[in-house]
């Protein structure tokens, strides 16, 4: 089952060791992203080839622009053996609205 986190819950989980994963396809190197040190960029279009790069022993929180690709990515990861998967509701837009750090 996929969990849904608010941006604040996702940030708290990150602080406790969860992996934040940016699955936006159009997130180029100059685009805004979460202002955290450990964010894993894994474009949705590359998920089927690169999902094995994600740690399977830590919770994974998926972030997209508004959340749609995050839902699809979560389903994919669950089908491929990941057990602790969450989606950050509202994606980057909600993170920014909450006043959380961006870079």
pLDDT at residue 28 in the model: 57
Higher-pLDDT residue of 34, 41: 41
Of 2-16, 20-34, 44-58, 77-91, least confident by mean pLDDT is 20-34
Q: Report the C-alpha gap between 65 and 94 in whole angstroms.
A: 9
Structural domains in the chain? 3-97 (3.40.250.10)
Strands 39-41 and 19-22: parallel
User: What is the spatial order of strands in the sheet that 60-63 belongs to?
Assistant: 3-5, 85-88, 60-63, 19-22, 39-41
pLDDT, mean over the chain: 89
For 34, list phi and psi in degrees, rounded to 5. -60, 140
**pLDDT > 60? residue 12:** yes
Residue 30 has pLDDT above 70, yes or no: no
Using CA atoms, how far residue 42 sits from 21, 64, 86, in Å, is 7, 10, 15
- 48-98 pLDDT, tens digit per residue, is 999 999 998 999 999 987 767 888 999 999 999 999 999 999 988 899 899
- What the block records as the tokens of 49 is 């080839």
């Amino acid at each position: 089952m996929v969990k849904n986190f608010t941006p604040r819950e996702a940030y708290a989980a990150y602080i406790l060791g969860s992996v934040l994963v940016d699955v936006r396809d159009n997130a180029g190197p100059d685009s805004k992203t979460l202002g955290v040190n450990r964010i894993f960029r894994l474009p949705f279009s590359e998920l089927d080839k690169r999902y094995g790069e994600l740690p399977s022993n830590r919770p994974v929180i998926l972030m997209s622009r508004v959340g749609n690709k995050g839902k699809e990515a979560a389903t994919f990861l669950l089908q491929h053996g990941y057990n602790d998967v969450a989606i950050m509701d509202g994606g980057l837009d909600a993170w920014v609205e909450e006043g959380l750090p961006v870079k």
